[in-house]
C-alpha cells in the first residue's frame, strides 16, 4: 500500500507537469491494469491513479462490484462530471449494496433539491438501513431541503420510507415552518393515517415543531382528525393529541386533561404530560386542581412549579400549609413559586 500510494503521487505530479497529452501512455497502461484487476483493492488503486492523472473512464468500472460503483459516483463528481439525476436514481435502484447507498446519499448534497426525489425514494426503500449508524442521518441530510420545495410530497416520501427515522424528522421540519398550512398538513396526515406508529411520529414531529408556542390557531383539519386520534390504540397518540388540542385552544380537551391530571390511578407519565400541557396553555380552571395536587406526593413538585404561572390569592397559604413535610427539592420548588410574584413573596 505504501508503494501504491507514493507511485500514485508521482504519477499525479508528472501528469500535472506534462499536461493531459503528456500522460496518454501512462493512462493507457492504467486502463489496461484496471481491466485486468482481479480484486477490489486493485480496482480501486487503478481508479484512484486514473483519477489523479486525468479522470476516471466510468464505463470501464461497470460490473466491478458495489465499492467500485460507489467510488465512481464520488470521483466523477470530484471531477465535475455529475451523473444525471435520472441515471443516478436508476443505478441506485439496481444496486443493493449499503456501501453504494452511503456514497450516493453523500453525493446528493451536490444536486439541486428538486433533483433528489427519485434517488431518495430508492435509498429509503431498504428497511435494513434503519439500524445502520450512518445511513438514516445521510438520508435525512439529503431530504431536509425538500420540505421547503414541496412539503406534501416530502411528507409522503418520509411516510412511505422504510427507514422510520425520516418521518418524525420531516414532520418536525415542516411543523417548524410555523405556517397554518404546514400545521394543517401534518394534522390531516395524522388523522388520515391508520398506522399508530406513523400517527405518533407525526404528532411527535408536530409537537417539536410547535415547541415554545403556548397557543396556535386551530388548523382546519383538526375537527376531523382529533376524534380519530382519540380512538387510537396507542395511549401515547391519545395523550399527544390531547396536548395538541390544548395548544390549538380546543376547549373540549381541557376538561379531559384535567380529569387525567386529577386521577390518582392514571399513569404518572400521562398525568405529568397532561399537567404540563394545561400549565403551558394557562388553563384558567387549573388552579384548584393544582392546589389539590400539592397534597399529592406523586405530582407535588410539578404542581408547585405550575402554580407560579397563575395569580391566585389562596396559593401562598396552600403552598405553605404542608411546607414542613416537603422534600428538599419540593421546598426549592415552593420557594421559587413564592418568589415568582410580589404578592406571593410578601
Tens-digit pLDDT profile for residues 30-61: 888 888 888 888 888 988 888 888 887 765 56
pLDDT band at 21 (very low <50, low <70, confident <90, very high): low
More confident residue, 252 or 175: 175
pLDDT band at 317 (very low <50, low <70, confident <90, very high): very high
DSSP per-residue letters across 232-297? -S-HHHHHHHHHHHHHTT-HHHHHHHHHHHH-TTS-HHHHHHHHHHHHHTT-TT-HHHHHHHTT-T
Could you tell me if 8 and 20 are in contact, meaning their C-beta atoms sit under 8 angstroms apart? no
pLDDT score at 27: 82
The secondary element (H helix, E strand) that includes residue 184 is helix 180-192
Query: Alpha-carbon distance 113 to 312, whole Å?
Result: 53
pLDDT score at 339: 94
Residue 24 scores a pLDDT above 80 = no
More confident residue, 61 or 268: 268
Could you tell me if 102 and 134 are in contact, meaning their C-beta atoms sit under 8 angstroms apart? yes
pLDDT score at 59: 57
pLDDT score at 58: 62
As a whole number, mean pLDDT of residues 150-179 equals 91
Residue that has been written with the C-alpha cell 385552544 in this structure: 249
Residue 23 scores a pLDDT above 80 = no
pLDDT band at 259 (very low <50, low <70, confident <90, very high): confident
Could you tell me if 253 and 242 are in contact, meaning their C-beta atoms sit under 8 angstroms apart? yes
Percentage of the chain lying above the pLDDT 90 cut? 32
Q: Out of 32-46, 242-256, 312-326, give the one with best mean pLDDT.
A: 312-326
Query: Alpha-carbon distance 333 to 302, whole Å?
Result: 8
In the Cβ-directed half-sphere of 310, how many Cα atoms lie within 13 Å? 24
pLDDT score at 166: 93
| Cell reading at 272 | 405529568
Residue 187 scores a pLDDT above 80 = yes
As a whole number, mean pLDDT of residues 218-244 equals 86
Tens-digit pLDDT profile for residues 105-122: 988 888 899 999 999 999
pLDDT band at 318 (very low <50, low <70, confident <90, very high): very high
pLDDT band at 330 (very low <50, low <70, confident <90, very high): very high
pLDDT score at 189: 92
As a whole number, mean pLDDT of residues 184-204 equals 90
As a whole number, mean pLDDT of residues 83-110 equals 84
Query: Alpha-carbon distance 221 to 186, whole Å?
Result: 9
Average confidence score pLDDT of the chain: 86
Amino acid at each position: 500500500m505504501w508503494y501504491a500510494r507514493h507511485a500514485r503521487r508521482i504519477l499525479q505530479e508528472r501528469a500535472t507537469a506534462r499536461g493531459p497529452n503528456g500522460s496518454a501512455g501512462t493512462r493507457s497502461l492504467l486502463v489496461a491494469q484496471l481491466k485486468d484487476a482481479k480484486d477490489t483493492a486493485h480496482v480501486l488503486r487503478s481508479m484512484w491513479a486514473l483519477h489523479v492523472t486525468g479522470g476516471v473512464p466510468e464505463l470501464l468500472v461497470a460490473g466491478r462490484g458495489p465499492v467500485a460503483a460507489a467510488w465512481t459516483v464520488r470521483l466523477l463528481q470530484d471531477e465535475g462530471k455529475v451523473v444525471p439525476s435520472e441515471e443516478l436514481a436508476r443505478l441506485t435502484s439496481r444496486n443493493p449494496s449499503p456501501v453504494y447507498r452511503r456514497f450516493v446519499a453523500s453525493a446528493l448534497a451536490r444536486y439541486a433539491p428538486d433533483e433528489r426525489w427519485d434517488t431518495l425514494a430508492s435509498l429509503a426503500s431498504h428497511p435494513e438501513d434503519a439500524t445502520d449508524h450512518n445511513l438514516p442521518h445521510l438520508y435525512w441530510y439529503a431530504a431536509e431541503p425538500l420540505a421547503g420545495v414541496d412539503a406534501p410530497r416530502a411528507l409522503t416520501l418520509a411516510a412511505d420510507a422504510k427507514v422510520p427515522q425520516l418521518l418524525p424528522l420531516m414532520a418536525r421540519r415542516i411543523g417548524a415552518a410555523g405556517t397554518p398550512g404546514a400545521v394543517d398538513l401534518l394534522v390531516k396526515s395524522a388523522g388520515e393515517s391508520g398506522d399508530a406508529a406513523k400517527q405518533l411520529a407525526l404528532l411527535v414531529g408536530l409537537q417539536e415543531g410547535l415547541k415554545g408556542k403556548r397557543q396556535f390557531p386551530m388548523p382546519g383539519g383538526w375537527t376531523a382528525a382529533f376524534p380519530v386520534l382519540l380512538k387510537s390504540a396507542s395511549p401515547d397518540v391519545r395523550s399527544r393529541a390531547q396536548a395538541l388540542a390544548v395548544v390549538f385552544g380546543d376547549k373540549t380537551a381541557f376538561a379531559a386533561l384535567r380529569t387525567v391530571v386529577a386521577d390518582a390511578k392514571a399513569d404518572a407519565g400521562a398525568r405529568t404530560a397532561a399537567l404540563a400541557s394545561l400549565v403551558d396553555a394557562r388553563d384558567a380552571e387549573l388552579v384548584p386542581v393544582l392546589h389539590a395536587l400539592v397534597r399529592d406526593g406523586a405530582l407535588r413538585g410539578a404542581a408547585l412549579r405550575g402554580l407560579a404561572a397563575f395569580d391566585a390569592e389562596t396559593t401562598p397559604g396552600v403552598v405553605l400549609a404542608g411546607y414542613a413535610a416537603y422534600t428538599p427539592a419540593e421546598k426549592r420548588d415552593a420557594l421559587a413559586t413564592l418568589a415568582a410574584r410580589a404578592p406571593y413573596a410578601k
